[in-house]
Amino acid sequence: MNLANRTRRKILARRRGLTLIELVVVLTVLTALGGILVPVVGNMIARTHFAKCSVTIPDITRQMTRSFASDLRYPDQWDSLINDAGGLFDKTPGGNAGGNLEAITLTQDQVNGLAALGITSVVDLDPTIDGDATWDVAPLGKPPRALAADGEVAAMVNAGDSVVSLNLKRHLIDPTTRYIVFGIGNNCTAVGPTGLFVESPTHFGGEDAMNPRDVYQRYAAIFSVNGAGDVNFECAASIHPDGLDGAEAHVRGYYDETAEG
């Protein structure tokens, strides 16, 4: 009986664990699976970003166009993309969207032109908020800044790549045209139960460089304004470390990622 018991215990002991060879085989299989899954997951995240923006950006553009057709004015109290103390917001993706954004000052004619279409104030952003660059940098209820001559706003660099990517052309006819970029934040009158959007949409960047805790990730509305104060809504866009992109760039990106995946 004792011999039988010892034999049984030895068999059970061998069954409790893996041999070194079995462990090596298991680790090899898991490593191979990881090598397959990691690129696939990364590809899916990128495609989700491109797909979401391909829908959200045209929707914002449609809502803005319909709103103006109905009210003959645009929403007010946009995020300015300007620091509380002045200058382009420190937490703009890429610092200045790859050289495509800069702070400019408005003339009185431009201020008057914006006001005629309902845009009279903006909300500046607080770059000192720790661990957030999107949600709390302009909290709901933060007092707006009235637009005035010599007041700062964010604008696209006319010679930058993003002007071409977004197919903006008015500056080619009138060199005094600038493209002002406003963020669609919680204080914007377009946001709320009776607004164009129930909540302020957050851009899902799909990569670490566009984490909304680190860089500003609201969608943007772009308006052209020339030296005479003529104002037009151009389009919506998302802000990336290397520039601003519209729906077409995201559709192209989706299919590029699909081809690679």
User: For the residues of 98-160, what is the DSSP string, one character each?
Assistant: TTTEEEEE--HHHHHHHHHTT--EEEEE-TT-TT-SSSSSS-TTPPPEE--TT-EEEEE-TTS
Place of tokens 């990691």: 38
Question: What is the pTM assigned to this prediction?
Answer: 0.82
Amino acid 196: pLDDT? 92
Amino acid 204: pLDDT? 84
- Lowest mean pLDDT of 7-11, 113-117, 238-242, name the range: 7-11
Chain Cα centroid distance, residue 112: 29
Amino acid 253: pLDDT? 77
d(CA 14, CA 219): 61
Chain Cα centroid distance, residue 43: 19
Q: Are strands 178-183 and 145-146 parallel, antiparallel or unpaired?
A: unpaired
Amino acid 47: pLDDT? 76
Using the predicted structure, report yes or no on whether residue 6 has a pLDDT greater than 60: no
Amino acid 37: pLDDT? 44
| Phi and psi torsions of 79, nearest 5° | -65, 130
Confidence of residue 30 (pLDDT cuts 50, 70, 90): low
Using the predicted structure, report yes or no on whether residue 17 has a pLDDT greater than 80: no
d(CA 163, CA 224): 11
- Structure tokens, 195: 């607004």
Amino acid 250: pLDDT? 83
Using the predicted structure, report yes or no on whether residue 73 has a pLDDT greater than 80: yes
Place of tokens 């992109």: 245
Question: pLDDT for 46-71, tens place per residue?
Answer: 777 888 888 999 999 999 999 999 99
Q: With the CA atoms of 201, 206, 211 and 217 taken in that order, what torsion angle do they form, in degrees rounded to the nearest 10?
A: -30
Amino acid 131: pLDDT? 86
For residues 101 and 81, the answer to whether their CB atoms sit within 8 Å is: yes
Region 95-102: mean pLDDT is 97
Mean pLDDT for the chain overall: 87
| Phi and psi torsions of 88, nearest 5° | -60, 140
The percent helix, strand, coil of the chain (3-state, each to 5) is 40, 20, 40
- Structure tokens, 260: 């690679």
Confidence of residue 40 (pLDDT cuts 50, 70, 90): very low
For 86, which DSSP code?
Answer: S
Question: pLDDT for 187-223, tens place per residue?
Answer: 999 999 988 999 999 998 877 888 999 999 999 999 9
| Selected residue with higher pLDDT from 247 and 239 | 239
Amino acid 205: pLDDT? 80
Region 109-133: mean pLDDT is 96
